[in-house]
Structure 1
Amino acid sequence: MKTWTSPFLASAALAGLATVAASEAADHGSHWNLMSDAYARVGEILKSEEGTTAVKRLNEELSALKEACDKLEVKSQNAPCHEDVRRLLSIATFNADPNDPNRNKTFPTHIPDFVSPEMREVMVNWTPNWLTSSWEGYPDPTDYGAWQSLHDELIDPMEAAGKQLLKTYNLSTEEREIGGVRTVIISPSENRHPGKILIHAHGGAFYGNTPETTFDRTAPLANHMGIDIASVDYKLMPAPDWDILDQRDQVIAVFDALTGEGGGYKPENVGIYGCSAGGGLVAMATNAMSHRGGALPGAAVMQSPQTDFSFNSDSTWTLRYDDPRTNVDHLIDSVWPMLGITEEKAQDPRYSTVYDNFEGRDFPPTMVQTGSKEIQMSDGIRMYGVLRSAGHEAILDVHDAMQHCFHGHSETPESAEAVRRVAVFLEEHLGSE
């Protein structure tokens, strides 16, 4: 049974839950630094206390948070910092009972009863990077070396996990240059679709990941369908002479090479898919190919796609502090400036695909897949809407309570079902061999 928490204690805690003393606020360069210390302190208290005692200690020891937030030099960070006060109050009250199996100890989020035990374990143990004690915020938007270092720190463990997946599914890989772009071909032990292939655009906010770090997005589908997948190693941002549209064009170059002279594939036998930034690149690439006319992929799958860089989608704001995978403030403060996203680009349909007019031109059958616990949900819903309104074939596949790119957790039933639905869609719409 969950420990009862006095509403009066909880209300008192709201006056200033969770950070260092206000006198120390000046030592923090940003609200991210301040809050990382605060979350570490909350964790220490919750390990040693529980119930109303824990809430009382939090109130006594961390009462200066709101004042500390107000003293941050960058005033645009005051409101997000105050919102974290609310979040920390939730952590204190939700986690006062250490035996509650349905609460994430660092990121309070509702986990419905129907979520599988396997996915529940993922959600309960997920720790957003911006809530760890070592988090100091993203690098300066123009510090290319720092962004590269941040990316490199994540590569080894992700590649190791990916290699294990390849062994689990008995898949092989081959590095190949296609259309002048490095790709990694993931092949099943038994190819049941020898005349077909899928193009994969990986996620990573346009600055992170490689084909080798995203085998969790390719291995399960290659195994389930028995099909080759060409994962595109597009050039990453940031770069002073590079643009997201160049990444888009590299995805198109792979499609053109596969379907051109000597490529070996008919356009209708080539599918294209990706999640997050990859889903956005799929939207941009198929839209550009539609505008130019001629050959199109047989089918497209956009998973959790970024289709509006202007942040005009509803879930961007309604789920702003409830998405365990993506933080809007980080995107606004650091990632978008690093990517070179200006106000003009954010409204340009070459980038923000939902703003284009899709009437009177061909477009491949499209599946939009998303979870209901992510800020990109509305981006996907809107993309589905504009395609359907223009008379194109499109389906919307929303998975309740699922987080951003949830299909990558191959050990869970929810991921397996998402992969199965993608496979069914692609097998129905790719051409005959």
Structure 2
Amino acid sequence: MIRIAASLAALVGLLALHPASAQEARAGVQPDGTVTAPASRVPYSDLTSPEARAFFPRMLAEGAKAPPITAPIAESRAFYDRMNSDRAARMQKLYPVTIHAQTIAGVGADVVLPANGVAPANRHRVLINLHGGAFLWGAHSGGLVESIPIASLGRIKVISVDYRQGPEHTFPAASDDVEAVYRALLKQYRPADIGIYGCSAGGILTAEAVARFIHDRVPVPGAIGTFCGSLLDLSGDSAWVAPLLNGQGVPTHHLGIGDLPYFRGADPNDPLVQPGRSPALLAKFPPTLLITGTRDMALSSKVRSQALLQAAGVEAELHVWEGMWHSFFSDPELPESRQAYRTIVEFFDRHLGHVARPRRLHADADGGR
């Protein structure tokens, strides 16, 4: 695990490129800076755990079975529910919890509690989880994957929200649901005692939800976590390099907000869609934890998001795991996953319940230091 500022984006994957022959080594650079390399061999990182090195090929093989994003939604939801249900079952053996369904402000949710009880220090705290899944799938089982280890290790109540998704619903339906749940919890908890976090689509939604709270003049939570998705659309070096490092080749087009049915008709420049586009909005964000890996297509977006938050005067803590892929901590057996869980638990433990300190805004809101 490494902890860095915004200077890592250009490094992902570059040092591992080994041409198979002199002929294949003839790379080119186009006038716009595009680099071409006819064929390359990219070994998996030798800086990861032995467990990760053994798991990586199996993970890629399983991922290759996933339906394309254009597949019928029922097919995709069934595939990911099987995958996430298996992960959740494995997690419960390692991280004992109790789970029950609850409706909060008309929105469905799964409430996850540590089997050995909420810690005394956390009786007045709560975490809200916003699951991943491209704003298309991930309800229930995907949310449990993100909630079980955190609830158990942190001995804290976690509420995973079943927010509305595409293709049936479009932006801002999910933000509406999160705000409804959050407002209901504000009747029981102080804002400073509430944390919100999510992975992938859930990381994006976490940022969107905070932007929505600020827009609607609702007090922001004590701290948030945006994992494998953050304040900006997926772009930058990692959007092109990560698919190569994950055995998919270099894409001709990288997946972005405009490809997701949930954002059909939404303005990508709207700060409620991409909060990173508004320095004034970011200045009001709470302390933020950002998590990603060097083989995550969201790495560049995460690095840039951390820089923008820091430029806006927000405490933004970025952790990048070597050799790890998008949502790597969904599989609980990896040492890197255990490190990520501990990082999440410790971050919220440090920040929840504290009164926000005045922030000094940086003069340069473009991410510079």
| TM-score, with length taken from structure 1 | 0.67
Q: 1:351 to 1:205 in 2, by over 3 A?
A: same
Deviations 1:298-325 (A, max 9, x none): 100111115333x543322343422469
Q: Given the alignment, which residue of 214, 219, 230 partners 2:159?
A: 230
**Structure 1, unpaired ranges of 5+:** 15-81, 91-108, 141-145
Question: Structure 1 residues 328, 425: closer, same or farther in 2, change over 3 A?
Answer: farther
From 315, 319, 323, the equivalent of 1:401 is: 323
Which digits, 9 at most, give the CA deviation of each residue in 1:178-229, with x for residues without a partner?
Answer: 1211000000022101111100000011101112234232111111110110
Assess if the C-alpha contact under 8 Å between 2:109 and 2:162 holds in 1. Answer: yes
Does residue 355 (structure 1) correspond to residue 277 (structure 2)? The answer is yes
Q: Tell me the equivalent position of 1:41.
A: none
> C-alpha separation between the residues in 2 aligned to 1:328 and 1:345?
25
Is the partner of 2:150 in helix, strand or coil? helix
Q: Percent identity?
A: 26
- Residues in 2 aligned to 1:129 and 1:327: alpha-carbon distance in whole angstroms: 20
- Code of the residue aligned with 1:116 in structure 2: it is S
- Equivalent in 145, 158, 182 of residue 216 of structure 1: 145
Using the alignment, how far apart are the partners of 1:316 and 1:423 within structure 2? 28
The 1-side partners of 2:308 and 2:248 are apart by: 26
- From 290, 295, 302, give the equivalent of 2:226: 302
- After TM superposition, list the pairs within 5 Å mapping 1:337-416 onto structure 2: 338-341=261-264, 345-358=267-280, 362-416=284-338
Q: Is the 8 A contact 1:196 1:265 kept in 2?
A: yes
Greater fraction of residues in helix: 1
- Provide the secondary structure at the position in 2 that maps to 1:347: coil
1:139 aligned to which of 60, 66, 70: 70
If the length of structure 2 is used for normalisation, what is the TM-score? 0.78
User: Post-superposition shift, 1:137?
Assistant: 4.0
Shift of 1:177: 0.6
Structure whose CA Rg is larger: 1
Q: Deviations over 1:355-394 (max 9, x none)?
A: 1223685321111111111111111111111111111222
CA 1:245–1:369 in structure 2 vs 1: closer, same or farther (change >3 Å)? same
Structure 2 residue 199 is matched with structure 1 residue 275: yes
Q: Which amino acid aligns with 2:242?
A: L
- CA RMSD, Structure 1 to Structure 2 (Å): 3.2
1:163 aligns with 2:89: yes
Q: For residues 224 and 400 of structure 1, what CA distance do their matches in structure 2 show?
A: 23
Report if aligned partners of 1:269, 1:297 keep a CA contact under 8 Å in 2.
yes
Measure the CA separation in 2 of the matches of 1:331 and 1:86.
20
The within-5 A match list for 1:20-419 is 86=39, 90=41, 109-127=42-60, 131-132=64-65, 137-139=68-70, 146-189=72-115, 190-192=117-119, 193-239=122-168, 242-260=169-187, 264-309=188-233, 311-323=234-246, 332=255, 336=259, 338-341=261-264, 345-358=267-280, 362-419=284-341
Question: Where is the strand percentage greater, Structure 1 or Structure 2?
Answer: 2
Contact 2:135 2:260 in 1 (8 A): no
Q: Give secondary structure in 1 for the equivalent of 2:196.
A: strand
Deviation for aligned residue 1:130: 7.1
Residue type matched to 1:254 in 2?
V
Retained in 1: the 8 A contact 2:170–2:264? Answer: no
Distance in 1, matches of 2:285 and 2:20, equals 57
